[in-house]
Amino acid sequence: MVNIADRMSHYPSELSGDQQQRVAIARALITDPKLIVADEPTGDLDRHSASEVLAMLQRLNEHLRKTIIMVTHDAHAAQAAKRLVHLEKGELIDAAAR
């Protein structure tokens, strides 16, 4: 699902940031959780890799019915969310559902 089978025998230091992120997602999925908490899942990725990770998270939500809580400062990543909640001065502010 995360498209890195060809890198299976490589050490983490031999993987790109995108590939390391995909490994983290695979590790999170191995126990088949209902809820995935993603803290800055696109943080250190280039625009193309970030879009691929966001698309993967969307597939997990839409096709495998996973609930995903994503914490991000990336406006582009936030646009992928179905619901936005902002943290302002320690208070959660519910934005309009998409």
Q: Where are the domains of the chain?
A: 5-94
C-alpha span between 11 and 7 (Å, rounded): 9
pLDDT band at residue 26, thresholds of 50, 70 and 90? confident
**pTM of full prediction above 0.95:** no
- According to DSSP, the β-strands at 67-71 and 35-39 are parallel
CATH node for 5-94: 3.40.50.300
User: In degrees, to the nearest 5, what angle opens at C-alpha 12 toward C-alphas 10 and 17?
Assistant: 115
Task: Give the tens place of pLDDT for each residue, 38-82.
Answer: 999 888 888 888 898 899 899 999 999 999 999 999 999 999 899
Which residue type does 21 have?
A: Q
What residues contact residue 78 under an 8 Å CB cut-off, 6+ apart? Answer: 70, 72, 84
For the chain, give the percent of residues with pLDDT over 90. 36
Residue 35 has pLDDT above 90, yes or no: yes
